[in-house]
Amino acid sequence: MNNQQLTAIASAFAIQGDILSIKQLGEGFINDTYIVTTTDGNPNYILQRKNHNVFPDVAGMMDNIAAVTAHIKAKVADPLRHTLTVIPALDGKLYVERDGNFWAMCLFIEGSKSYERADSLQLAYQGGVGIGRFQSLLADFTTPLNETIKGFHNIRHRFNQWDEAIAADRASRVAELTEEIEWIESRRKTMLDFWSLVESGVIPMRVTHNDTKISNILFDEATDRVLCAIDLDTVMTSTSLNDFGDAIRSYTNTGAEDDTDLDNVNMNIDMFRAYAEGYLSERQSTMTESEIEWLAFSGLYITFEQVLRFLMDYIDGDRYYKIAYPTHNLVRTHAQYKLLRSMEEQYDDMRRIVVNLLS
């Protein structure tokens, strides 16, 4: 995508000022993100090409984001920094379509920073506050949301996809993955039993973020206090436990998501405590008994799901996640499985910490 094309797309949105530069930001697994700077005195913007294979209904996704952010804006002290601001296109739509690609824009939040890893307990605590607050601000949001990715954190749906992927064996990799496949199969029943509690309503449905890794939180550059949750593409109705679990998967990992040295990868229980403390400070009074009971387990659940998703994508010939080298998804599978094992070993301690924080 050259600069001229990017400028044409950015100019189709209702921006203020003249465009000075458009530069790629980070390397997301799913979308392509650019920062658009403009002439002095005007805001800067985030321009994003939304992955149309992952999000077939970009219009529905943008409707979700606009509704949820409008709801939050009405409640927070600083509406331009405490949530995303969607910038509509000049034709009034919330996205621009060009050559089969879908683009969306939001305000760049100045004086913010994000992290790829949680490098202090304070940061983990703040991240927990961020997601706890996000869920609390949306507790009274009643408009139905579009299900933009079917069965996103629904392990029954994931197992259906898994069974199909194994049967199809598109990349002829199943035969060499006996051990890894057993990691998934040996936990099938435990994970489905948990999900039955969601299906039967024992665990309630709420408005959730669904992608709560640390890079999807903005922190104040000056104070490192949380500003808001970003990357709202996956906002949907689900269990709040998924948001907690996905954050635990990300914040507590002492290694990288794709670490090739498994000795680096473990769950840091102090990070777990710090994140849980921040989260509960915002959510404790509104959680049900069942949510409290299963809070620690949610870390294992989402990490297991991530092992399944990375492995399934590898089996499928790497169609979902962007990869940097041919075995990338397999490396991610092994690294996330190591994290899952570490969580399983420390599960009793995780449960005790939740009980202690609540007493």
If one asks whether residue 211 binds ligand GN1 (CB under 6 A), the answer comes out as yes
If one asks whether residue 306 binds ligand GN1 (CB under 6 A), the answer comes out as yes
Nearest residue to the partner ligand ADP, using Cβ: 28
The position carrying tokens 């659940």 is 301
The residue (of 17 and 28) whose beta carbon lies closer to ligand ADP is 28
Q: Which of 173, 164, 49, 157 is nearest to 101 (CA)?
A: 49
Stretch that binds ligand GN1, among 26-34, 124-132, 155-163, 340-348 (CB under 6 A): 26-34
N-to-C CA span, the chain: 55
Amino acid at 343: M
Q: Pick what 84 binds: ligand ADP, Mg ion, ligand GN1, none; C-beta below 5 to 8 Å, kind-dependent.
A: ligand ADP
Interface residues for ligand ADP in 223-282 (CB under 6 A)?
A: 230-231
Interface residues for ligand GN1 in 217-276 (CB under 6 A)?
A: 231, 234, 257
If one asks whether residue 181 binds ligand GN1 (CB under 6 A), the answer comes out as no
Query: Residue 345 and residue 337: Cα distance in Å, rounded?
Result: 12
Q: How many residues bind ligand GN1 (CB under 6 A)?
A: 11
Interface residues for ligand GN1 in 266-305 (CB under 6 A)?
A: none
Q: Pick what 230 binds: ligand GN1, ligand ADP, Mg ion, none; C-beta below 5 to 8 Å, kind-dependent.
A: ligand ADP
Stretch that binds ligand GN1, among 2-10, 22-30, 124-132, 348-356 (CB under 6 A): 22-30
Residue 284, C-beta contacts closer than 8 angstroms, at least 6 positions apart: 358
The residue (of 126 and 306) whose beta carbon lies closer to ligand GN1 is 306
Determine contact, residues 123/115, Cβ cutoff 8 Å. Answer: yes
Q: How far is the CB of 17 from ligand GN1 (least distance, A)?
A: 29
Q: How far is the CB of 149 from ligand GN1 (least distance, A)?
A: 6
Interface residues for ligand ADP in 84-123 (CB under 6 A)?
A: 84, 106-109, 112, 114
Interface residues for Mg ion in 204-243 (CB under 5 A)?
A: 216, 231
If one asks whether residue 216 binds ligand GN1 (CB under 6 A), the answer comes out as yes
Output the six-digit token pair for 217.
């939180």
Interface residues for ligand GN1 in 54-73 (CB under 6 A)?
A: 54
Stretch that binds ligand ADP, among 29-37, 136-144, 185-193, 293-301 (CB under 6 A): 29-37
Stretch that binds ligand GN1, among 28-36, 59-67, 71-79, 271-279 (CB under 6 A): 28-36
If one asks whether residue 212 binds ligand GN1 (CB under 6 A), the answer comes out as no
Q: How far is the CB of 115 from ligand ADP (least distance, A)?
A: 8
Determine contact, residues 151/157, Cβ cutoff 8 Å. Answer: yes
If one asks whether residue 47 binds ligand ADP (CB under 6 A), the answer comes out as no
SS3 track for the chain = CCHHHHHHHHCCECCCCCEEEEEECCCCCCCEEEEEEECCCCCCEEEEEECCCCCCCHHHHHHHHHHHHHHHHCCCCCCCCCCCCEECECCCCCCEEECCEEEEEEECCCCEECCCCCCCHHHHHHHHHHHHHHHHHCCCCCCCCCCCCCCCCCHHHHHHHHHHHHHHCCCCCHHHHHHHHHHHHCCHHHHHHHHHHHHCCCCCCEEECCCCCHHHEEEECCCCCEEEECCHHHCEEECHHHHHHHHHHHHCECCCCCCCCHHHCCECHHHHHHHHHHHHHHHHHHCCHHHHHHHHHHHHHHHHHHHHHHHHHHHCCCCCCCCCCCCHHHHHHHHHHHHHHHHHHCHHHHHHHHHHHHC
Q: Pick what 239 binds: ligand GN1, Mg ion, ligand ADP, none; C-beta below 5 to 8 Å, kind-dependent.
A: none
Contact positions vs Mg ion (CB under 5 A):
216, 231
Contact positions vs ligand GN1 (CB under 6 A):
28-30, 54, 211, 213, 216, 231, 234, 257, 306
Contact positions vs ligand ADP (CB under 6 A):
25-26, 28, 30-31, 33, 46, 84, 106-109, 112, 114, 215-216, 218, 230-231
